[in-house]
Amino acid sequence: GAVVSQHPSWVICKSGTSVKIECRSLDFQATTMFWYRQFPKQSLMLMATSNEGSKATYEQGVEKDKFLINHASLTLSTLTVTSAHPEDSSFYICSATKSYSNQPQHFGDGTRLSIL
Amino acid sequence: DAKTTQPNSMESNEEEPVHLPCNHSTISGTDYIHWYRQLPSQGPEYVIHGLTSNVNNRMASLAIAEDRKSSTLILHRATLRDAAVYYCILRASGGSNYKLTFGKGTLLTVNP
């Protein structure tokens, strides 16, 4: 159980394009979802915390107008990278958790974004 | 967030036990100890978590020191598929902040 699906797995697009990444919890209701970014040879960096029905909480240094997060239901959160540029190329990973603090997070397989 | 310290890398042989250490001397009484691992080009995978007592599941065992200032993740028989970066993370309980802060982790290499 506790499967998180992330789509697409990889995307290549031109500079200036907006890209949407979906994160779905398939077999449980996720009151909280998280979005991370990981550059090569580095650890995961939390970008934002997304709670269903409310605005996302962004980490310091993450532009909320650049990385739009929508958590419209208990099973779906989306991250839109607006007007993407080559420096936005990275591995984006989502996770989902139930509403209990000692419950683990369940991660998607990530989306590799390459901006040309 | 309370910080953890792990070795940058460790090496093991296939079918031998592996003990991955983690120091967390500033742990608070309500912090859970979580372990995740990340295989190449994949999202992290939950391994195990605990508070005070040792824990066992199908993937691994977690041994927690009596003073909770350190813990050890034990893989009983390493396989090639266990080669990954292992992250030891403290996660506060209570409140509404369930986020995880990832450090650099330990890169485990398993030799055939």
Range B85-112 average pLDDT: 87
pLDDT at B99: 81
Which chain B residue has its CA at the smallest distance from A41's CA? B104
pLDDT at B96: 55
B101 interface with A at CB cutoff 8 Å:
yes
Cα separation, B42 vs B48, in Å, equals 18
Chain A with chain B: Cβ pairs closer than 8 A = 64
Neighbours of A36 (CB within 10 A): 26
- Kindly list the residues from chain B whose CB atom is less than 8 angstroms away from the CB atom of residue A44: 38, 44, 102
pLDDT at A100: 61
Instruction: Say yes or no to pLDDT of A76 above 70.
Output: yes
Q: Do B43 and A34 touch (CB under 8 A)?
A: no
Query: pLDDT by residue (tens digit) across A24-56?
Result: 999 888 888 999 999 999 999 999 998 888 889
Neighbours of A76 (CB within 10 A): 17
Which of B3, B19, B9, B4 shows the shortest CA–CA distance to B106?
B9
Q: Do A104 and B99 touch (CB under 8 A)?
A: no
Query: Is pLDDT larger for residue B104 or for residue A31?
Result: B104
Query: pLDDT by residue (tens digit) across A93-113?
Result: 999 987 665 678 899 999 999
Instruction: Say yes or no to pLDDT of B42 above 60.
Output: yes
Chain mean pLDDT for chain A: 92
pLDDT at B2: 64
- Kindly list the residues from chain B whose CB atom is less than 8 angstroms away from the CB atom of residue A94: 43
Q: Is A82 helix (H, G, I), strand (E, B) or coil?
A: coil
Query: Who among B93, B98, B102 is closest to A43 (CB)?
Result: B102
Instruction: Say yes or no to pLDDT of B54 above 90.
Output: yes
B51 interface with A at CB cutoff 8 Å:
yes
pLDDT at A31: 83
Query: Is pLDDT larger for residue B30 or for residue B7?
Result: B7
Band (pLDDT 50/70/90 cuts) for residue A21 is very high
- Kindly list the residues from chain B whose CB atom is less than 8 angstroms away from the CB atom of residue A6: 43
Range B22-36 average pLDDT: 93
Q: Do A105 and B46 touch (CB under 8 A)?
A: yes
CA A66 to chain centre: 13
